[in-house]
Amino acid sequence: MVVLREGMCPGLDADLVRDLRAAGIKTVEDVVSSDIEDLAQRCSVSYKALFAIRRVLLAQHAAFPVSGADLYEELLSSTAIISTGNPSLDKLLDSGLFTGEITELSGGPGSGKSQVCFGVAVHVSLHLKQSVIFIDTTGGLTASRLLQMMQTESSNPEEQTEALQRIHVFRLFNIFSLLDCLFALRSGRLQQACAGSVKAVIVDSVSAVISPLLGGKQNEGMSLMIQVAGALKTMAKDFNVAALVTNHVTRSDSGGVQPGLGVSWSHIPRTRVLLERRGEGGGGRALQSALCDPDQVLQTALSHQGRVRPAVVEPLERGVVGKEKTGRD
Amino acid sequence: MQISSCSLSPAVKSRLTAAGFHFLSELRGLSPSHICAETGVSQQEALQVLQAVRGGASGGGASVGGASGGGGASVGPPPSLTALQLLQEEQSQRSIFSFCSQLDATLGGGLPVGKTTEICGAPGTGKTQLCLQLVVDVQVPVCFGGLGGQVVVVDTEGSFLLQRVQDIAGAVVKHCSLLVEDDEQRVAMTTFSVETILSNIFLVRCHDYVELLAELHLLPDFLSEHPRVRLLVIDSVAFPFRLHFDELSQRTRLLNGLAQQLIAMATSHNVAVVITNQMTTRLRGGQSQLVPALGESWGHAPTIRLLLQWAGTQRLATIFKSPGHPGATVQYQITSDGFRDADQSEQPPSKRPRTHTVQSATGQRDSNQSSAGQRDSNQSAAGQRDSNQSAAGQRDSNQSAAGQRDSNQSAAGQRDSNQSAAGQRECS
């Protein structure tokens, strides 16, 4: 994977790099996978020197094994469950969004995906006093709506102002700027920039930037999609944040709806929630988790209050964050 | 950061990968000629690669361009702002009012600037009329509560009728001239005329989807050159995309790309984007349903979706989706002056049973009159006069129900009139 450079390890000097290059060996991967004996003859260097170089390179680039017990300890100490602010949605999600995991909301236009995202952002910033990173790719983030949700929760304007300042918004409209942003977040620079610890990263919506690259005869989109997924996953794990993404839906031939972005993407989120709009005028919505609890389908609190009142942000189960996760039953 | 996630051309990427480069950090500190020698890309491509490296190094620069387009390469940290800044930004922006006070009230003052709004409707529901009204409204001077902006209209259907714009513009100019109160407004009125309205409209005709996509690639530059443009209308986006497509997935891909371009334009240039869409029939288990065209995934593209439809003789506008507004349905009408509030007197008469006898119970009439609002008082009185004594019992129950309905209606009517007054205040 990594290009061979002089000085990478003892014994690897400029002459040797040139010789190896002449023999078609350009990267660490090439050195590791090649036949050392043959290579020693072709480059006329000692077998011993090449063998030592290979051992050092392997040690430098290999991953470290972690014991299961250590991992479990770490899991118990670091995993938090972030309440979405909506009790019935929390119940559906096994008490909330788990840090280190990707949760996906999918649904048709006007099914309330963005509203759930707003609700989570408001809940985390207002009640849990944690920072939220909100990546808006559809231009749908309306700050006045966030304020409206906060006003029903708290009457203190200062508290609202502080909460609004804890929501960091990125407005990115194509996949390359999204990837740039995710990599920058992962490299930790932005974690420092956002004062306070970030507990949730919301991408609304991930499909809006990926779907322009899918379909037709283009296949580069697939690769970029998986890179977005990888970046999200490593970020969620490394920084222990809950990632919430939204996805659109497509209609299958039989007339049913299914989450968009195809089969490859379906392996990415840990939990998928399908939001549906039932009846005319935005009535009840059924939520369904595809991975968490397949049988569970429930009517949420959104039903009777619709979008007029922010039912999504009812503050319940406040003590959930920080609760130790004792494995999933 | 991996090389494959940069916005470089696929050919350059594959050459870099073949040469063993997988991460941008590996390219740091190399000279362009060095990269050329190692990978076989041209000098210019090597420079582009290094620019991408530098962008990624300085905090993940948003190097846009490439497949999804939308602006030049800008190096620097991605633009982050807090929700509070966003709120201040939103509050400083004015909305484009539609002259239909009910619609404006449900949208919180009108069509928001910086968002994309889709207007869907069957033929003849008034999509184009609403667009034409907005084209004129956005130019109302700032001192009258408007935006004083310019407009870009992308016409794909050939439905942009200049005579109609003239009618609407005339009505708006007349309306504003009646509202003049101070000197500032008087000065503004000297330049606000039908001619200036027409001169501030930039019309682009696109005949097929290729022309439309090409135009959208050129528009960001045009908007930079004309910073006063506050509204972009595409009437309609559906028409060029509903024919000449063998492969539907290709169409979906292009449409999704187009949507992202529009959103990027709306946000970066502070422009309200209004697009119209046609309706199509979806068959589902033997039942047919009228839904907006262009498929399920296009439905996610606009930030706000307005549905215009007929219900009997009434025209109804429904907010189908919007992140900041509750769903609502309002009435409107289209007059010779443009898109307006539904005229209350044109509502269908109340469905109270009517018979033709001139006897009446005066006491009852009075009580009903007092409960029924001003607007309906004539009607209800007439109804009472007409009503038949013989069916007194039945009528009583009917009347109480009717009376209630009337009072509701009149309350609604009064609210409307309040709203329209508010709308006028906004204008003035």
Mutate to test the interface with B, among A27, A142, A250 (most CBs of B within 10 A): A142
Phi and psi (nearest 5°) for A141? -75, 120
Neighbours of B127 (CB within 10 A): 26
What dihedral angle (degrees, nearest 10) is formed by the CA atoms of B37, B41, B43, B45?
A: -140
Question: Which of residues A319 and A87 earns the better pLDDT score?
Answer: A87
The DSSP 8-state label assigned to residue A258 in this structure reads E
Residues A214-225 have a mean pLDDT of 79
Give the relative orientation of helices B374-386 and B362-371 as an angle to the nearest 10 degrees: 160
Amino acid at B46: A
Do A3 and B25 contact (CB within 8 A), yes or no? no
The DSSP 8-state label assigned to residue A36 in this structure reads H
Dist CA A319 CA B93 (whole Å) = 39
Do B372 and B403 contact (CB within 8 A), yes or no? yes
| B76 has a chain A CB within 8 A of its CB | no
> Going by CATH, does the domain composed of A92-271 fall within 3.40.50.300?
yes
Do B329 and B310 contact (CB within 8 A), yes or no? no
| B68 has a chain A CB within 8 A of its CB | yes
| B403 has a chain A CB within 8 A of its CB | no
Provide, rounded to the nearest whole percent, the portion of chain A with pLDDT above 70. Answer: 80
What dihedral angle (degrees, nearest 10) is formed by the CA atoms of A120, A125, A130, A132?
A: 60
From residue B147, alpha-carbon distances to A44, B85, B142, B380 in Å are 77, 22, 5, 43
Do A219 and A225 contact (CB within 8 A), yes or no? no
Cα–chain center distance at B361: 52
The DSSP 8-state label assigned to residue B200 in this structure reads T
Instruction: Please tell me the least confidently modeled range out of A12-26, A107-121, B164-178, B373-387.
Output: B373-387
Q: What is the ipTM of this complex?
A: 0.76
Dist CA B60 CA A177 (whole Å) = 8
Question: How far is B187 from chain A, CA to nearest CA, in Å?
Answer: 34
Do the Cβ atoms of A144 and B108 come within 8 Å?
Answer: yes
The DSSP 8-state label assigned to residue B320 in this structure reads E
Do the Cβ atoms of B247 and A139 come within 8 Å?
Answer: no
Of residues B69, B259, B297, nearest to A250 (C-beta): B297
Residues in A touching B83 (Cβ below 8 Å): 121, 125, 134, 141, 143, 146, 164-165, 167-169
Q: Which two tokens stand for residue B236?
A: 């309609």
Q: 3-class SS at B270?
A: coil
First to last CA, chain A: 40
Residue written as tokens 């129900």? Answer: B401
Do B265 and B232 contact (CB within 8 A), yes or no? yes
Q: Which two tokens stand for residue A183?
A: 């990599």
Neighbours of B403 (CB within 10 A): 22
Residue-wise pLDDT for B194-246, tens only, equals 999 999 999 999 988 899 999 999 999 999 999 999 999 998 898 888 877 77
Do A200 and A118 contact (CB within 8 A), yes or no? no
Determine the pLDDT at residue B401.
44
Amino acid at B133: Q
pLDDT-derived band of residue A37, with 50, 70 and 90 as boundaries?
confident
Do the Cβ atoms of B59 and A308 come within 8 Å?
Answer: no
Of residues B64, B266, B326, nearest to A177 (C-beta): B64
- What sign does the dihedral A148-A149-A155-A159 (CA atoms) show? negative
Residue-wise pLDDT for A54-86, tens only, equals 888 888 888 888 899 998 998 888 888 988 888
Q: Which two tokens stand for residue B423?
A: 């709308």
Residues A178-200 have a mean pLDDT of 76
Mutate to test the interface with B, among A106, A115, A138 (most CBs of B within 10 A): A138
- What sign does the dihedral A248-A251-A255-A258 (CA atoms) show? negative
Do the Cβ atoms of A212 and B257 come within 8 Å?
Answer: yes
Residue-wise pLDDT for A255-308, tens only, equals 677 888 888 898 899 888 888 776 543 333 434 333 333 333 443 433 333 332
pTM of the model: 0.76
Cα–chain center distance at A221: 18
Q: Which two tokens stand for residue B359?
A: 């006897």
Residues A229-256 have a mean pLDDT of 86
Residues in A touching B61 (Cβ below 8 Å): 180
| B285 has a chain A CB within 8 A of its CB | yes
Do A168 and A134 contact (CB within 8 A), yes or no? yes
pLDDT at A192 over 80: no
Of residues B22, B80, B296, nearest to A1 (C-beta): B22
Residues in B touching A207 (Cβ below 8 Å): 297, 300
Q: In degrees, to the nearest 5, what angle opens at C-alpha B398 toward C-alphas B396 and B402?
A: 115
Q: Which residues 287-316 of chain B have a CB within 8 Å of chain A?
A: 295-297, 299-301, 303, 305
According to DSSP, the residues that pair with B119 across neighbouring strands are B276, B306
The DSSP 8-state label assigned to residue A110 in this structure reads T
Report, as ranges of residue numbers, the positions in chain B whose pLDDT lies below 70.
Answer: 55-78, 344-428
pLDDT at A153 over 80: yes
Phi and psi (nearest 5°) for B27? -90, -10
Give the relative orientation of helices B209-225 and B248-269 as an angle to the nearest 10 degrees: 10
Do the Cβ atoms of A165 and B84 come within 8 Å?
Answer: yes
Q: Which two tokens stand for residue A269?
A: 């989120």
